Structure formats: C-alpha cells, structure tokens
Amino acid sequence: MLTLLHADDGPHGRMPLLTLFPGYFLLPLADMPATGPATEPRALWQRLLFVGLCLLLPVVWGAIVNRMFDLWQRRPTEAGDDRIFPEYQI
C-alpha cells in the first residue's frame, strides 16, 4: 500500500497536495485551501491556480513528448507533412 494517502481521509483533509510533488519548490503555489468552500478570495485564487497547474502540467508534458517524437523520427514540422503518428493512447 502507498503511504502517501489513506482511504479514510476526506478530499480536503490532507492538503497541501503540492508539497507531495517532487520539486514542488519550483512551483509558484504552495498548497490547496485546507478546508471549507472557496468563498474567501485567497482560497478561491489558490483553487484557481491549482486548477491551472493541473491543466498545465499534462499539456506541457504532452507537447514536450510530441516535440521529442518529432525530433526522434527526424520528422519535419512544416505544414503539409501528414505522416501518421502512432496513436499510443486515445
């Protein structure tokens, strides 16, 4: 079993989430709002920034992977090249 989370914890009871991320100190955020609804401005901004980070991380990773495969396959990136990329996940 993993030690980082426990099944009996509530969804907001074990923050800060980002401190679990290796290299979290590189991130502009420290943590998620610990409790309660996102009604306070600070909690709301923290939540919005966390959502933004969750969107950014996989999108950036996906773009980097695509670029790496472009370079790996020595594929030109100019428009008009329509060779099929292996769709490993859909």
Partner 1 sequence: MLDFAVTDLLLILTVGSAVGFISGVFGVGGGFLLVPVLHIGLGLPIQIAVGSAACQVLGPATTSCLARRLTREDLRIPLIVAGGITIGVYAGATLLHSLTSGQIARSGSLGIHTGDLLVLSVYLPLLLTLGGFSLWEGQRALIRRPVRTGWVAHWRIPPTVSLSAFTHGPISIPVLSWFGLLVGFLAGLLGFSGGLLLLPGLIYLLGLSWSNAVANSIAIVWLIAFQSTIAHAWHGHVQLSVVAGLLVGGTLGAKLGVNFSAGVSPARGRRSFGWLALGTAVVIAAKLVALLHSAGAW
Could you say which residues in the range 13-72 bind partner 1, by CB under 8 A? 14-15, 17-22, 24, 32-33, 47, 50-51, 53-55, 57-59, 61-63, 65-66, 69
User: Which residue, among 25, 43, 26, has the nearest Cα to 34 in the 3D structure?
Assistant: 43
Nearest-angstrom CA–CA distance, 75 and 69: 8
Residues that bind partner 1 (CB under 8 A): 1-7, 9-12, 14-15, 17-22, 24, 32-33, 47, 50-51, 53-55, 57-59, 61-63, 65-66, 69, 82, 85-90
